[in-house]
Structure 1
């Protein structure tokens, strides 16, 4: 159902902290112009948790307005199952294409609790679900065994695989075949995951560099691995910025430098300053300076 490059887009704010709808529309539109295959809003490691549920619905609707009929998924990552189900219901009423669901971002659920939570949210929203498996960030591992237990429910259609172990993609496919669409959720493992069978990439630095991200994916799918690898090697220092406590600030700084966007974040985050900012800015500027012409028909 969901394949290709699906950006986990950043949320844009005005200086007073309100949602910047115009800038979101512009930036989301750039993703569509580059050929991305959908959008995921209100990311769980991004600023989704800093938004009210009503604000999240507003961001969803802004993305829908520019998505050109491509899927727009709402991230569901709530501390309580009750609240997660409420957001799933609101997203469904607002016309979301599906949900990306974190089973438990605060309490570390055991396998039985993980299954129960995911089933409850899927039932509440009654939409297709991408299971977000990220044991590094959340210490809850949605294992292939759990995926198999959930497989009887057709609402579970995809996995955002973020275990940080490239072997996991192969393990899922070996165990479950094509039952789930497996999308990599780790920017600096994207080439490797696509090489072993992932059908998509939930991407972060795509927000600042959409053309290069789409080019890598399309070249990989065309079997043009050497060309994809050349871009990926150029991209790696940027992609590493996504694997950081400061990924939101990193990506927003990259967006400011690459596409002229804003860096405003919602507290408790603050924009990058000092040595950390200098280091990130140097990486981004070096990448922009070394940008190569992309292959034809990528």
Structure 2
């Protein structure tokens, strides 16, 4: 079983959950989606995240998605989002997916947390619940959760809990947080892996600040793969050239509320999934939106040149 560590690097794509038109899970599209992501160069996957419509799934469905994904991944690392309102549900899902062979779990703080003390106590309870042997990704996404975690509090958590091996960095603006964490590590704080989200909107800058890669969803995962590869090779201008070619689509996919519909439409268009349906409630793309996406794709195809 491949597990994540504080040295994990690369691109872990946040996977969508494929549904049929009737809202049922589509096992065939899970297989094709997993193949698609790895064929485009992903180092691993993260499933049942916020853009994976996890809150719309039953426990049985979450386990089915995890089982199908892990089977298709054939030993490549798969992180499973287990965030839940209560620790009992979080612990049950965590234990079952780790037994299936998950590489680790991802936990976002519940929106009820307001103080540093509450955040510290919450993650202590999480580690007590899932066991100190379970690798944990701490998802820091205040724009969604409403929970502000300071760099100082992150340092307290990393020091107290060695099983928190990775930060999913999605603070915005948050580039300084990456710099501050790396500075603290240079001064003796335990190192952690930092993979960044927000659809890769700041990926080149995040890599320059010391991030280890990306953990986010975008319908063109090869963009993230190429940017990370080129930045690691010191080919900064080429990395920015690749990023710039995709930027109009990244921007369009970042629309609050509409982004998942855009992503699923493009993944279906690219053959990764058979159907762009979301489980209800979900936003459908209008005809003008589809026309705008198609125009952006056509313009992107004319601009793209990939470095060797």
**TM-score w.r.t. structure 2 length?**
0.88
For residue 229 of structure 1, report the CA deviation from its aligned partner: 0.8
Residues 189-242 of structure 1 show CA distances to partners (whole Å, capped at 9, x for unaligned) of 11110111100101211xx21323211111111111111110100111222213
Following the alignment from structure 2 to structure 1, what is the Cα–Cα distance between the partners of residues 223 and 303? Answer: 9
Return closer, same or farther for 1:45/1:210 CA change in 2, 3 Å cut-off: closer
Counterpart for residue 80 of structure 1? 86
- The alignment covers a number of residue pairs equal to 292
Counterpart for residue 205 of structure 2? 192
Counterpart for residue 126 of structure 2? 121
- Which of these residues, 21, 29, 35, is aligned with residue 29 of structure 1? 35
**TM-score w.r.t. structure 1 length?**
0.91
- Superposition map of 1:157-176 within 5 A: 157-165=165-173, 166-176=175-185
Return closer, same or farther for 1:291/1:24 CA change in 2, 3 Å cut-off: farther
Gap regions ≥5 residues in structure 2: none
Which structure has more relative contact order (CA 8 Å, sep 6+)? It is 2
Task: For residue 7 of structure 1, give the secondary structure of its aligned residue in structure 2.
Answer: strand
Following the alignment from structure 2 to structure 1, what is the Cα–Cα distance between the partners of residues 239 and 125? Answer: 40
Counterpart for residue 91 of structure 1? 97
Residues 231-258 of structure 1 show CA distances to partners (whole Å, capped at 9, x for unaligned) of 1001112222135222211110121223
1:98–1:130 CA contact under 8 A, matched in 2 = yes
2:14–2:51 CA contact under 8 A, matched in 1 = no
| Structure 1 outlier segments of 4+, above 4 Å | none
Task: For residue 248 of structure 1, give the secondary structure of its aligned residue in structure 2.
Answer: helix
2:257–2:283 CA contact under 8 A, matched in 1 = no
- Superposition map of 1:93-172 within 5 A: 93-104=99-110, 106-126=111-131, 127-150=134-157, 151-165=159-173, 166-172=175-181
For residue 291 of structure 1, report the CA deviation from its aligned partner: 4.9
Q: Give the CA RMSD over aligned residues.
A: 1.9
Relative to structure 2, which stretch is displaced further, 107-116 or 132-141?
107-116
Is 2:230 the partner of 1:219?
yes
Gap regions ≥5 residues in structure 1: none
